[in-house]
């Protein structure tokens, strides 16, 4: 059951997108919509015609079952004349012209498709045809085992005589028809035609099962004449189409044509030989060919998975393995039950029903693998468990001679136990979906959001890192086109996530989640949208905070200039000595530097270095301290206000320590920026010793705090022969960061 092609994004595809999904999403307008309406009308008309054909056929409202001795027993009837005879053997049905139809132990409405024995199948078809001809006469007489005869008229079934099971089975067949039409019209291509062939084959099986589920005696004339051949053809076509589809999708194999030709050739050959009666034991040939094609499908999809770790191949292999295993178990049970009279044949029919429902549910689930279709997954799971339960029931009866109640109880207990114990695990393994834990997603999102707040310019790479951590894709492709929101494309193989980018919108295409082990789902797209929203909020919050900081810095700078600056200027004019006037002048220059730095959002490194050198030169010259200055850089990045402010205060604090505490006569400052890493070294020749024993007060504590704000490290060590060396290292100083 290869998942059909799914939709891509609506705009024109770029080269990376063509690797993901070669065609854009179809719009259900124009010819597609008209053909879909036509397909729906034809499907409804076909279902209605099938219903009318059965409803117009004559029947007897009675249920006949085989007893342990193989005799047909009248078990129940809605007719008063027959209800009184419940429990009596039904010997024959006689017609007015004197013909008598003897009945044997064949259960009512058994399916020729699941009759292992050729003679039993032939008798079943002949009896159904003879019964239809007898009831067509209008009046018949039922001869019972107590030599009683009950004459009656066989009326048409009518709508009320179709039975409760007929309606859901017919509706499911119609649904398969509509899904096949929708998939094929959405993408008129080979692999979707193969999906449609599989869906239509199982729709045909469901219609025959619905026909045979009708209660009472009598089916339309010729209803079962070709049932075995047609249903064998449906099943073999489904198996061959699965092999062909897996050879094409999700990865076209090198020998796809040869593999497809062998699969279809084997299926067609068996159907032709069965139709011609040239094969002994045709049921064994049909089942053997189906199982062989199922194993071939497994081998083909495994080979596709080796070529590319596409999650489609992983999910398809799981589906194929489950389908082949349940079919093998049911075939084994039917083979052991062959020749058993009564209940085992009824259970075989029930097993065939739930197997068909299981396969139909997998086909219905295939187009919705990347969407939330919990009901379909649960239905497929229950149908598979029911197939196992009926198969185990048959095996317990035929192999171990257990009683009916004991075998049924044991089979149901084992199946329900397996279902309850491994339900979630099996569902996750079938569709390859493991839900991210809330704790894991929140932890990763919180960490990246904090980094985005600290460095908004790194939004795109941080988002890519977060998406890699959350979904573990095999590859991430940048695409130069935007999207309204996160969306699943390629039927779940890829997830498109929009990225904020100016001036050209961009997206990231994540391919093959969990290293190719699972499909992307609608839940993943919603999670990606929530991640984008949280990161957008983090960026908006950082921008709002930065605006507030900038406005506050402007206010402070203005206050310092207008108030403190004016006061210092007045003091300078009133200074009593040239030394005091010079000191206040230098203080005014420091204040000017400070206010200019506060009012500017970004500072070029080379400009800031020139200001720092000028400022420190004046301070050290006034203190009669020699300055050695070295500046080396491979880039000239823009410093943020945080970086500029932190470095300015670190330099001033280290200079003050060298002047007032170390009593240095020389100060050497070396500043180096290489590959985005800043290294600042301040060396003095003062009296300071043993920095590891220092008590870090406001001065040294402030240095540590500001270096930590830069995301860097600071170290002090002794200089030889005397003095202290302070080393500051920090990243994030590359141009463009």
pLDDT at position 13: 41
pLDDT at position 411: 63
pLDDT class for 85, splitting at 50, 70, 90? confident
pLDDT of 342 higher than 80: no
- Give percent of the chain above pLDDT 70: 77
pLDDT at position 7: 37
Least confident of 95-109, 398-412, 607-621: 398-412
DSSP string spanning 70-91? Answer: S-EEEEEESSHHHHTTTTSBEE
pLDDT class for 727, splitting at 50, 70, 90? very high
Q: Where are the domains of the chain?
A: 15-55+161-431, 62-156, 438-542, 601-737
pLDDT at position 11: 37
Averaged over 402-427, what is the pLDDT? 61
Could you tell me which residue, 143 or 235, shows the higher pLDDT?
235
pLDDT at position 197: 95
DSSP string spanning 172-191? Answer: HHHHHHHHHHHHHHHS-SHH
pLDDT of 215 higher than 80: yes
- For 267-296, the pLDDT digits (tens) are 999 999 999 999 999 999 999 999 999 999
Bridge partners, 680 (sequence order): 671, 728
pLDDT of 737 higher than 60: no
Question: Quick one: tokens of 556?
Answer: 């402070």
pLDDT at position 578: 75
For 564-700, list the strands marked E by DSSP. 602-604, 626-633, 638-640, 666-674, 677-684
Bridge partners, 674 (sequence order): 677
Averaged over 254-268, what is the pLDDT? 94
Cβ neighbours of 28 (radius 10 Å): 11
CA nearest to 359, candidates 518, 185, 165, 201: 201
pLDDT of 612 higher than 50: yes
Average pLDDT of the chain is 80
Same fold, 438-542 and 601-737: no
pLDDT class for 181, splitting at 50, 70, 90? very high
pLDDT at position 10: 33
**Alpha-carbon gap, residue 414 to 391, rounded angstroms:** 12
Burial class (CB in 10 A: 0-12, 13-18, 19+), 455: middle
Domain 601-737 classification at class level? alpha beta
pLDDT of 547 higher than 50: yes
pLDDT at position 286: 95
Packing angle, helices 282-307 and 311-337, rounded to 10: 160
Residue written as token pair 């017919």: 170
pLDDT at position 466: 84
pLDDT of 654 higher than 80: yes
pLDDT class for 6, splitting at 50, 70, 90? very low
pLDDT of 458 higher than 70: yes
- For 281-334, the pLDDT digits (tens) are 999 999 999 999 999 999 999 999 888 888 888 888 888 888 898 899 888 888
- For 348-390, the pLDDT digits (tens) are 677 788 888 888 888 888 777 656 556 656 666 666 777 777 7
Burial class (CB in 10 A: 0-12, 13-18, 19+), 623: middle
pLDDT at position 295: 96
pLDDT at position 9: 33
Averaged over 541-551, what is the pLDDT? 71
pLDDT class for 12, splitting at 50, 70, 90? very low
Q: Which of 65-69, 181-185, 573-577 has the highest mean pLDDT?
A: 181-185
pLDDT at position 237: 96
CA distance readout (Å), 691 to 483, 688, 705: 57, 8, 17
CATH for 438-542 is 3.30.70
CA distance readout (Å), 638 to 202, 542, 604, 616: 68, 19, 4, 21
- What 3-state class would DSSP assign to 217? strand
pLDDT at position 302: 92
């Amino acid at each position: 059951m290869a998942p059909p092609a799914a939709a891509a994004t609506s705009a024109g595809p770029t080269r990376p997108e063509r690797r993901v999904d070669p065609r854009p999403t179809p719009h259900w307008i124009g010819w597609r919509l008209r053909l879909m309406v036509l397909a729906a009308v034809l499907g409804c008309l076909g279902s209605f015609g099938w219903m009318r054909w059965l409803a117009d056929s004559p029947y007897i409202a009675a249920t006949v079952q085989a007893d342990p001795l193989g005799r047909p027993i009248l078990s129940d009837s809605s007719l008063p004349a027959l209800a009184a005879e419940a429990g009596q053997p039904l010997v024959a049905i006689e017609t007015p012209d004197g013909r008598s139809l003897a009945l044997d132990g064949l259960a009512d409405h058994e399916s020729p498709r699941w009759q292992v024995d050729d003679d039993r199948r032939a008798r079943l078809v002949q009896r159904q045809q003879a019964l239809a001809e007898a009831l067509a006469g209008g009046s018949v007489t039922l001869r019972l085992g107590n030599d009683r005869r009950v004459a009656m008229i066989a009326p048409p079934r009518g709508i009320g005589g179709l039975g409760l099971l007929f309606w859901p089975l017919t509706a499911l067949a119609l649904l398969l028809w509509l899904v096949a039409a929708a998939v094929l019209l959405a993408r008129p291509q080979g692999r979707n035609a193969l999906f449609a062939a599989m869906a239509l084959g199982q729709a045909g099986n469901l219609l025959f099962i619905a026909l045979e589920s009708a209660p009472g005696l009598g089916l339309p004339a010729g209803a079962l004449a070709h049932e075995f051949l047609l249903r064998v053809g449906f099943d073999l076509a489904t198996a061959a189409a699965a092999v062909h589809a897996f050879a094409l999708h999700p990865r076209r194999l090198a020998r796809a044509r040869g593999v497809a030709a062998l699969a279809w050739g084997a299926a067609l050959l068996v159907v032709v030989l069965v139709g011609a009666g040239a094969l002994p034991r045709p049921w064994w040939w049909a089942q053997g060919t189906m199982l062989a094609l199922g194993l071939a499908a497994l081998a083909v999809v495994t080979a596709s998975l080796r070529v590319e770790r596409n999650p489609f191949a992983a999910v398809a292999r799981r589906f194929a393995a489950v389908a082949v295993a349940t079919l093998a178990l049911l075939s084994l049970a039917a083979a052991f039950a062959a020749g058993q009279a009564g209940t085992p044949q009824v259970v075989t029919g029930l097993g065939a029903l739930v197997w068909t429902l299981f396969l139909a549910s997998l086909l219905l689930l295939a187009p919705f693998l990347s969407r939330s279709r919990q009901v379909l997954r649960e239905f497929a799971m229950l149908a598979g468990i029911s197939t196992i339960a009926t198969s185990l029931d048959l095996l317990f009866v035929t192999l171990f001679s257990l009683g009916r109640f004991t075998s049924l109880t044991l089979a149901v207990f084992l199946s329900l136990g397996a279902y309850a114990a491994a339900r979630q695990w099996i569902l996750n393994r079938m569709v390859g979906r493991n839900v991210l834990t809330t704790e894991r997603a929140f932890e990763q999102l919180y960490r990246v959001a904090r980094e985005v707040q600290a460095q908004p310019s790194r939004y795109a790479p941080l988002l890519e890192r977060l998406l890699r951590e959350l979904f573990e894709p095999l590859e991430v492709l940048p695409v130069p086109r935007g999207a309204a929101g996160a969306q699943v494309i390629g039927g779940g193989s890829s997830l498109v996530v929009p990225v904020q980018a100016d001036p050209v919108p961009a997206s990231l295409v994540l391919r093959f989640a969990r290293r190719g082990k699972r499909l992307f789902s609608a839940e993943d797209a919603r999670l990606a949208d929530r991640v984008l929203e949280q990161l957008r909020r983090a960026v908006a919050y950082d921008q709002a905070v930065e605006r507030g900081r900038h406005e506050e810095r402007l206010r402070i700078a203005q206050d310092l200039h207008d108030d403190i600056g004016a006061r210092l200027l007045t003091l300078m004019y009133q200074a009593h000595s040239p030394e005091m006037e010079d000191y206040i002048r230098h203080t005014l220059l420091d204040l000017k530097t400070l206010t200019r730095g506060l009012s500017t959002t970004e500072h070029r490194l080379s400009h800031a270095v020139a200001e720092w050198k000028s400022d420190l030169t004046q301070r050290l010259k006034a203190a009669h301290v020699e300055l050695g200055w070295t500046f080396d850089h491979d880039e000239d990045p823009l410093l943020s206000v945080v970086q500029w402010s932190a470095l300015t205060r670190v330099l001033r604090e280290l200079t003050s320590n060298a002047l007032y505490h170390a009593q240095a006569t020389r100060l050497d400052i070396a500043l180096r920026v290489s590959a985005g890493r800043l290294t600042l070294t301040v060396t003095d020749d003062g009296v300071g010793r043993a920095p590891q024993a220092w008590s870090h007060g406001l001065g040294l504590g402030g240095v540590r705090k500001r270096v930590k704000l830069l995301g860097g490290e600071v170290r002090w060590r002794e200089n030889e022969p005397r003095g202290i060396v302070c080393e500051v290292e920090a990243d994030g100083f590359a141009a463009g960061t």
